[in-house]
């Protein structure tokens, strides 16, 4: 077992650490409002009120940020949304 010399340790870019990433769900004409609400409640564990509010935001505004966090976590969330058939993307928080 060895210890990496200090100069080899990569220091994460501060902006990378501080800027959270987001998972955005986009509106589409097929997914049911009841189903989208169910997915938000089941996968994210959101209470019904919050899940319905996010679903309505997707429906009315065309998109909604449904989660935020580090990039790995957002990629996991987007993959999960795709597995449910929701249309979702990862992006850096504005």
From candidates 29, 45, 60, 61, binder to another protein by CB under 8 A: 29
Could you say which of 16, 48, 62, 70 contacts another protein (CB under 8 A)? Answer: 48
Contact in structure between 84 and 43 (CB atoms under 8 Å)? yes
Enter the tokens of residue 52: 């319905």
Q: Which is nearer to another protein, 9 or 32 (CB)?
A: 32
Whether the Cβ atoms of residue 88 and residue 23 lie closer than 8 Å to each other: yes
58 binds another protein (CB under 8 A): no
93 scored as a contact of another protein (CB under 8 A): no
Binding to another protein by residue 56, rule CB under 8 A?
no
Name all contacts of 58-63 with Cβ < 8 Å and 24+ positions apart.
58/25, 58/26, 58/27, 59/27, 59/33, 61/27, 62/26, 62/27, 63/24, 63/25, 63/26, 63/27
Is residue 43 within the footprint of another protein (CB under 8 A)?
no
| Binding region for another protein (CB under 8 A) | 28-32, 34-35, 38, 41, 47-48, 75, 78-79, 82-85, 87-91
């Amino acid at each position: 077992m060895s210890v990496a010399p200090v100069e080899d340790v990569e220091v994460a870019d501060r902006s990378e650490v501080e800027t959270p990433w987001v998972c955005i769900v986009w509106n589409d004409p097929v997914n049911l409002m009841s189903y989208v609400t169910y997915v938000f409640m089941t996968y994210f564990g959101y209470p019904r009120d919050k899940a319905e509010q996010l679903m309505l935001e997707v429906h009315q505004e065309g998109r909604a940020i449904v989660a935020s966090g580090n990039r790995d976590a957002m990629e996991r969330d987007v993959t999960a949304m795709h597995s449910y058939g929701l249309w979702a993307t990862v992006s850096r928080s504005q």
